Each structure stands twice: as structure tokens, then as C-alpha cells.
Chains A and B, each alone.
Chain A
Amino acid sequence: MEMAGTRSRLTWAVNLSVGFLVLLWIIPTFGLLVSSFRDRDAISTSGWWTAMSASERNAIVRADAPDNAVQDGAVWVVTGNAFDSGAGNVTAFGITSREPEAFAPGEVATHPKGHEITVAANGDYRISYAEKPEGSRGQRLFVRAEAPPSFTFDNYREVLFAEGMGKSLLNTFTVTIPATIIPILIAAFAAYALAWMEMPGRALLIAGIVGLLVVPLQVAFIPLLKLHNGVGLGKGYLGIWLAHTGFGLPLAIFLLRNYMVGLPGEIIESARVDGASDFDIFRKIILPLSFPALASFAIFQFLWVWNDLLVAKVFLGSGENELVMTGRIVELLGSRGGDWEILAASAFVSIAVPIAVFFGLQRYLVRGLLAGSVKGG
């Protein structure tokens, strides 16, 4: 009995700790996500955690001009609504700047000049004069109102079409697609040879590839930039595709070889006995069977290229047709440092695709991670 009690208390503790940990891990992203849907004023005057509660604001509204008053029985009235856009809920109003919250909605305030003013909770005001009033300046109303939480897509519209993120999204796609697909094919052939073909120096090649896995990319920048300039490639898409292909190959070969070594040898042997060439074996047996490993690498490479900043800064120009999203965001961080509505929406435009890939294909990603770092996977 006591044992069971301790166990359930422990389960509670574990559940709470995990809940706390998960909260800690998603709150940062969530905060920015919420902010990307708030308007500029809301972001800069209140924390995002207040976004769901109604915000109270004070506003000064000028009522319609007395000239426009219409006769209503014995009195002349001016009517209208204190909220020029959207709805709101008036919590108090006043007619002088000294006492802006003197009256509750629905109460009647009497102006020193004699006319009577009332503002309803929904913002409708009514000013009644005993005689036909004159003048083009309307009565000033001080209104304290609760605005319901409001969210907008305007930030996204602005970053996509005015701040250039739309163009950068296209540029990022342009970099990512070839840089993901081309290394796969080159790596797959090499991985097959390293896994299933007899060749001298095979162990040495494998060791070399494991070594290249951790070579810092920085090593390649200066020599390759010189090389690209030397052969007339300069900074451009072709150069960055080649660079990403080169940088992705060690992991691609490593992952694919590890996977292919685990495929059943009997199938390959019997195909050889039946007279199939290595090219046929690769195409008809190895490639289809290796699909999970190919998918794993494709996801890795896609995420890595999509999220890369450094390689793009070195091998690609920063013109309108070449600046990728990460580069654009860094520029915005410099030029629009305090404009969180722009930064938040930009960040989420760039994050959306990887997150979708992540949640859609997580299985392959995890499998690839395991194959890449623990034997057997």
C-alpha cells in the first residue's frame, strides 16, 4: 500500500517536471509567435503574455460638430460612436482633461455651457443642446475603454511584400533544393562501393570520411573563395550549390554506408551469382532498400542548408536576387533592431518550413541522428 503511494507521488513529480521542462522549452518560440500577430503599438507597450487579456486604453475623441446637430423633439442632438474602428467597451468617460474618468458609461454629464453629454458602454455618445448649437469644433470626450485582444496578419504582409522576405524565401528555396538533391546521388554510389565492393584502401577511405565529418567549414572559405574567383565562378548560386554539396558529402557517405552495410548480404550475393552487374544491383536492390537512410540524409541536408547563414554569406552575394532569409533577418536585426513586429514575422516566415518538415518527417530525422552517432541505430 505504502509502496503504491510513493509510486503515484513519484509519477506526479515526473509529470510535473516534464511539464515544466516542456513549458520552458516552448515559451521562447511561443512568445515570438504570439508577437508576430500583434500590432506594432501593442508589442511596444505591453508584454506578449498580456496579449490574451483585454487592454485598457485612454483616448481623446472629438465628437461631431455642433453644426451637424439635428432636432429631436425639443432638443438638438449630436450623436456618433467614440470608436472610429472596431468595437470596444467603455469603462469610464469625462469631459475635461482634469477629470477624464469622472463618469460611468450611461451617466449624464452636464457641461458648464449647459449641454448634456452621455456615452454608452458600446461607445455611442449623445450630446443634447437646448437650442440649435453652432460651431465646427466638436465637444472633446475623454474615453477610457477596454479593447478586446486583437491579432493581425499585417506584419506578415509587410515582411513578405515590403521588407523583401518574400524574395528571400524564393532565394532560400533556390539554394536549398539543388544543394539537397545533388549530394545524395554522388554519396549513394560512393557509399555502395565502400560498403559492398572489394577495394584496396577501403578502410583508409572510410577513416578519412569520418575525419572529414568534423572539419570546420571555416577552413574552406578563403581557399575556395579564391578558387571560385579564379575560375570565374565568383559569388553565385552555382558556387554555393557546389560548396554545400562538398560540405554535405562526408555525412551523406557516412550515413548511407552505415545503413547499406546492414543490408542482408545474401540478396546482393545471389544477384551477383545471377549475373547482375554492380550498377544493376545498386539501382534495383540497394537504392530502393536504402530509402530510409536517403530520407534521413535528405532531411538533415535540407534543414542544414535552409538554416545556414555562414556559407551563404561567404559564397553568395547580398543582392536582392541572392540574399537568403537568414541573411535578410540578420540585416533586419541591424536596421530594424527595435521593430519586433517585423523581426518576429520575418523569423517565423523562415522557421515555418523547417518546423513543418520537422513535425512531418521527425521519424526519419531521429533515425538519421541515431545512425550518425550510435552504432547500429
Chain B
Amino acid sequence: MNQLFFAVSTIIVGVFGCVAYFYFSNIVLDRVFPARGPNAGRNINRSTAIRPWLFVLPALLVLGLYLVYPVFSTFFLSMRDTSGDFVGAQNYVWLAGDEKFRESLGNNLLWLVIVPAASTFFGLVAAGLTDRIKWGSLAQSLIFMPMAISFVGASVIWKFIYDYRGENQGEQIGLLNALVQAMGGDAQAWITLPFWNNIFLMVILIWIQTGFAMVILSAALKGISEETIEAAYLDGATPLQIFFKIKIPQIWGTIAVVWTTITVTVLKVFDIVFAMTNGQWGTQVLANLMYDWMFRGSPDFGRGSAIVMVIMLLVTPVMVWNISNAHKENR
């Protein structure tokens, strides 16, 4: 209970602190540059120039300290060894030759291809189908629900599905193995199955992200003008033709947004791998490898930072694309 009290008092201090800052800084500004007297005009100009900065200052400070500074700091750290000496590109050279890093990079690229593609595909199918039926919004809710579940919770849910009992341990209680046996196959320890275990981990993220893709794409589909669809319908197009030739081309922009958003999520994937395999049996990914170097018995912040910079580099194209899109919209 003590700590909840601590939390609540932090909220009060934080919220009142913020309000007090904004309130009093505005008053001070008005005192320093009063909007009356001989210099009223000049003072108003000055205070209008300064006031926006009062409003954005706390946000800029926090963002600067918690996101901008770390990017540069991590970059510099990536060129140092465990004792803090400058070693140039040595950590990156080590990365290039490290087997675990190559495995992680390869797995990350695999995730990068499969997860966004599958999530967007299933999302599109779900959006297209639920649009046409009466209980569509209920169906959407149920498909969307995994979005609310933590990656760790989802990992437990799926680990239970992949559960494997050895030969003399009785009936299979994992759904996947029970299905495989019912169809005449042999039960397997899916989580340790080389290569395919990566796919089984990806399924978890696809299960989570499909709802996200569906919600966004469904809204985009609803936004398509009725006229084009009516016209195609009158020309005798089948529902499938309408979907693929009329609707999809009109929502390419949204599909790209969904795809890139999931791509960024995938690049940072950590929890699922950490909870399911912790990178064993050939399932290592960059974020987990970085965590490993950061918290292992003898941490190496230089190597950890170098791995982070690789993730950063992979995210950069999406970042540039997002910025240029936002720029176009604001104009």
C-alpha cells in the first residue's frame, strides 16, 4: 500500500508541478513584457515569440534527455570497449564475424519479411470479409482483442498450444500436437525444431498484429467512394474482382502505412523470443542479443550499443519515409 501512496503522490506532484510551471511561467512572461505602457506593441511581439517555447519546453527537455541524447550517446558508446577506451569500429568488426549476430540478423530479416506480410494479408482478408456481414463488428472485436494482450501473456498462450509431452508422459495436452496426432502425424517438440521454431514464434506476433492491420484497413475500405464500386458492379464485375481491382488499388497508401508500422514493431521484437526460447535453438534476434550483452555476467556495453545501432540503422528508412509523408500532409 505504501508504494501506491508513493505513486499517487507522484501523480499529484507531477500534475501540479506541470500546471504550476505552465501557469506561473505565463504570468512571469506577462509581467516582464506587459501588454501596456509605452512599449506595449514591442512587448506583445516579444511575448508572442517566447510563449510557444514555454509551452513546448518541458516536452522538448524530456524528449531530448530520454530519446535524442541516447541516440548519440549510444553511437559513441558503440565505439568503446568494456573499459571505456575508444576502439573505433572494432565492435562492428567483431559483430560482422560473430556467429550469434549473423543468426540474429538473419532471423530478424526473416521476421521482417514474414510477419508484416502475413499480418497485412490476414488483416486485409478479415477487413474485406467482416465488412460484408451483420455481425462484422463483433467479429472484428474478437480478432482485434489480442492487441490488448501483452507479448508475455501471448507467449504463455501459445507455449501451451505448442506444448509437447515426451513418449511416456501420457496424452498430448498441446492443441497443435493433439491435432497433428489426430491427423496421423507424430507429436513434436515444436519450440526446438530448427528453423521452423522461428515460424512458430512469428505466428504469435502475426496473431497479435492482424487485428491492428484489420482495423486500419477496414476504415480505409469504408472510405472508398461508393461510386467506383457501383460503376464496377453495373459493368458486371464479380465481388472478388471488385475487391482486388477496385478496392485494393485505392488503399495502397494505407496498406503501406500498416506494413511499415508492423515492420518497426518487428524490428524491436524482444518479449516473445525472450519468453519462449531466450534465443536458444537458433531463434535469436537482435533485440534479445542486445539485452543479453547488456545484462550477462560480464556486460559489454560497447558490443550491446553496436547491436542497437544496427537496429537503429534498419529502422531509419521507415523513419525517413514517415517524416517525408508527414511533411507532405502538413503542406
Contact = CB atoms under 8 A, between A and B. Distances in A.
A321 B130 contact: no
A173 interface: yes
Given A14-B132, A214-B264, A223-B77, A369 B156 contact: no
> For chain B, which range describes its interface: under 10, 10 to 19, 20 to 34, or 35 or more residues?
35 or more
B171 A306 contact: no
Interface string B6-34: 11101100110011001100100010000
B70 A32 contact: no
B238 to A, nearest CB: 9
Contacts of B23: 279
A79 interface: no
Given A18-B130, A45-B170, A309-B150, A369 B74 contact: no
Contacts of A29: 145-146, 149, 157
B294 A206 contact: no
Interface residues of A, number: 112
Given A43-B173, A238-B10, A249 B149 contact: no
A21 B129 contact: yes
Nearest to B314: A216
B311 interface: yes
Contacts of A245: 62, 66
B148 A333 contact: no
Nearest to B141: A362
Nearest to B26: A279
A218 B254 contact: no
A28 B158 contact: yes
A373 B83 CA distance: 43
A220 B139 contact: no
Nearest to B320: A211
B172 interface: yes
Contact of A373 (B144, B216, B304): B216
**Which residue, of B139, B146, B152, has the highest number of chain A Cβ atoms within 10 A?**
B152
Label chain A's interface by main secondary structure: helix
Interface in B230-269: 239, 254, 257-258, 261, 264, 267-268
Nearest to B55: A193
Contacts of A182: 11, 14-15, 18
A31 B150 contact: no
Interface in B153-206: 153, 155-161, 163, 170-175, 178
B77 A309 contact: no
A10 B239 contact: yes
A220 B65 CA distance: 9
A222 to B, nearest CB: 5
B137 to A, nearest CB: 10
A22 B18 CA distance: 45
Interface string B48-80: 110111011011101101111111011001000
A249 B160 contact: no
B63 A178 contact: no
A304 B220 CA distance: 25
**Which residue, of B67, B171, B174, B315, has the highest number of chain A Cβ atoms within 10 A?**
B67
A14 B129 contact: yes
Given A32-B160, A47-B173, A189-B59, A215 B6 contact: no
Contacts of A17: 129
A273 interface: no
A21 B11 contact: no
A326 B270 CA distance: 13
Contacts of B143: 21-22, 25
A53 interface: no
B36 interface: no
B66 A220 contact: yes
Given A210-B323, A222-B304, A373 B170 contact: no
B11 A177 contact: yes
A347 B77 contact: no
A44 interface: yes
20 contacts: A171-B3, A177-B8, A185-B18, A190-B58, A197-B55, A213-B322, A215-B312, A216-B308, A222-B294, A222-B304, A241-B10, A242-B66, A247-B66, A277-B26, A329-B152, A333-B155, A347-B157, A366-B215, A369-B212, A373-B258
Interface of B: 3-4, 6-8, 10-11, 14-15, 18-19, 22-23, 26, 30, 48-49, 51-53, 55-56, 58-60, 62-63, 65-71, 73-74, 77, 122, 125-126, 129-130, 132-133, 135-136, 139, 141-153, 155-161, 163, 170-175, 178, 207, 210-212, 215-216, 219-220, 239, 254, 257-258, 261, 264, 267-268, 270-271, 274-275, 287, 290-291, 294, 301, 304-305, 308, 311-312, 315, 318-319, 322-323, 326-327, 329-330
Interface of A: 10-11, 14-15, 17-18, 21-22, 25-29, 31-32, 35, 43-49, 170-171, 173-174, 177-178, 181-182, 185-187, 189-190, 192-194, 197-199, 202-203, 205-207, 209-224, 227, 237-238, 241-243, 245-247, 249-250, 253, 277-279, 282, 303, 306-310, 313-314, 321, 326, 329-330, 333, 340, 343-344, 346-347, 350-351, 354-355, 357-359, 362, 365-366, 369-370, 373-375
